Amino acid sequence: MSLTKITILLSLLVLSHQAELHSFHLTNNVLSLEESEDSTEIVSDHLVQPTQVFNRSSLQSVSIINHNLTSIKEGTFDNFLNLTNLVLDNNQIDSLPRDLNLPNLRQLTFKNNKLVKLHNDSFVNLRNLQILKLDYNELGEIDPNAVAGLSNLKVLTLSHNKIEHLPKTVFVAVSGLVNLDIDNNFLTVIEETVFDSLEELVTLNLKNNLIKTINGGAFRRLKALRDLNLAQNHLTKLEHDVFHHLAELDSLHLENNFLEELPNGVFQDLGGVGRLLLTNNSVRELQKDVFVGLKQLRNLKADFNEIRVLEKGSFYGLPFCYDLNLSYNKIDHLPSGVFDGLENLEQLLLNGNKLSTLDVGAFTGLTALYALNLENSKIDDLDTLEELPKLRLIDLKGTKYNNMTSVNIGKYVFNVNKYNNWVLN
Ligand SMILES: *[C@@H]1O[C@H](CO)[C@@H](O)[C@H](O)[C@H]1NC(C)=O
Ligand SMILES: *[C@@H]1O[C@H](CO)[C@@H](O)[C@H](O)[C@H]1NC(C)=O
Ligand SMILES: *[C@@H]1O[C@H](CO)[C@@H](O)[C@H](O)[C@H]1NC(C)=O
Ligand SMILES: *[C@@H]1O[C@H](CO)[C@@H](O)[C@H](O)[C@H]1NC(C)=O
Ligand SMILES: *[C@@H]1O[C@H](CO)[C@@H](O)[C@H](O)[C@H]1NC(C)=O
Ligand SMILES: *[C@@H]1O[C@H](CO)[C@@H](O)[C@H](O)[C@H]1NC(C)=O
Ligand SMILES: *[C@@H]1O[C@H](CO)[C@@H](O)[C@H](O)[C@H]1NC(C)=O
């Protein structure tokens, strides 16, 4: 449908006798006036009769989806004073109407269009807007004042664009933001202060960018943040204070980066974090006390790294951790007492490491451990496992015990089950 047709259609609506009309949906040339899925859909051309005056201000929701619209004429939405929801997804629009004057608009979604730039003051007259979704456009540039008029904004999604840089002050005026998604863009640097105004932010998604550098103070004011996603970036190191002050954080995603080391104290303020994901990095060493501060951590994934060095104290400060994944590292030695502090650990994955001999004392302290995975290792003796009072399940596939139907650990016998695990009778 062409732009002219849309404009005509809107004019027809305006002129038609639809005093009760609250909602207007146009998808694939099918117009419907109800929001419900099963409402009668009527082909647009036959719908509206330009009979009596229709009051524009009664309309609350307009969606025009999948229409190959390339632009929106100025004035198209004039006087839609009661409009709360405007959806223009899946079109070809390359610029936002500059003059949108919709004082009651709560949600504007503009996904999958062809926007290339957010200009200064793009949204001056949308002071009640709470949700703005601009995902899947071609946004490369954002002016410093692009969202400045949106003082009530709560949700801003900019995923799957081409954003390389965030102006330092771009979020200053949207200080009530709760969700911010900038994943799948081309960001390389997170500068200090850019997020400083966002004291109510709960989720920040920066996944799959090209971020190499995060200034140590970048997140310091995000005191309500619960979910921080930095996965799939190009991080090789972290500033020691980069996560300081994030007292509400619950989930921290750092997987699929190139981190080589974890600085001491980097997690010290993260007393609320339950999940820490470090899968698929290049960390070589877990030095003593590196996880201190993670008082509520339950789940730690450090699989697919280059960890060779563990020491007594590597896991200090993790009293509630019950699931630890160290699969596919380069661990060849477990020093005595290395797992001290993990008194609630139930599952430990050490498969795919270079372990051969297990030293006496390697597993002391693991008083709750129930399941141990030693798959694909060169383990040559199981006696040390006697140190695990609660052990019930061992995985020994790909070891020299592979074809044995039962193994002895001290006075206990573990028999292979149909899943190819060895379980205590
Ligand atoms: C439309 O509705 C508004 C608010 O209810 C009212 O002030 C205005 O006069 C109406 N306009 C017309 C043309 O009826
Ligand atoms: C616009 O919304 C207000 C408040 O909900 C309502 O009182 C008014 O009748 C609406 N206007 C029209 C024309 O429906
Ligand atoms: C949009 O363009 C595509 C490709 O040219 C076409 O297949 C489709 O029918 C068009 N949709 C509308 C609603 O005109
Ligand atoms: C946008 O606004 C900022 C600050 O007011 C100004 O420095 C900048 O030059 C403006 N950019 C454009 C493209 O107008
Ligand atoms: C590991 O991370 C790199 C970098 O993000 C990525 O290219 C690779 O696909 C990831 N590997 C796996 C197994 O996910
Ligand atoms: C542990 O990591 C390995 C290797 O990445 C993965 O295959 C496995 O699903 C993970 N298991 C758990 C319980 O995290
Ligand atoms: C286990 O038995 C299979 C044949 O049943 C054999 O190919 C394999 O080499 C044996 N593995 C070990 C570790 O002995």
Residue 77: predicted pLDDT: 80
Q: Enter the pTM of the model.
A: 0.87
CB-based contacts of 403, cutoff 8 Å, min separation 6: none
Phi-psi region of 173 (alpha: psi -120 to 50; beta: other; left: phi over 0): alpha
What residues form DSSP beta bridges with 412? 409
Q: What are the sequence ranges of the domains in the chain?
A: 289-301+315-425
Closest CA to 166 of 143, 183, 136, 150: 143
Distance 37 CA to ligand 7 centre (A): 58
- 385, two tokens: 């496992």
Residue 219: predicted pLDDT: 97
Question: Given CA atoms 36, 39, 43, 49 in this order, what sign does their dihedral have?
Answer: negative
Residue 4: predicted pLDDT: 40
What are the per-10-residue average pLDDT scores of the chain (425 residues)?
46 45 50 38 33 63 84 79 92 84 93 94 88 98 92 97 96 96 98 95 98 96 97 97 96 98 96 97 97 97 96 96 98 94 97 93 95 94 93 94 90 89 87
Distance 357 CA to ligand 7 centre (A): 21
Residue 396: predicted pLDDT: 93
Residue 124: predicted pLDDT: 84
Distance 104 CA to ligand 7 centre (A): 71
Reported residue count of the chain is 425
- Report the residue among 183, 230, 232, 256 best suited for mutation to probe ligand 5: largest number of ligand atoms under 8 A from its CB: 256
Q: Cα–Cα distance between 13 and 11 in angstroms, integer?
A: 5
Residue 10: predicted pLDDT: 56
Residue 2: predicted pLDDT: 41
Residue 30: predicted pLDDT: 45
Class of domain 289-301+315-425: alpha beta
Q: What does residue 394 show for φ and ψ, rounded to 5 degrees?
A: -125, 140
Q: Cα–Cα distance between 423 and 176 in angstroms, integer?
A: 53
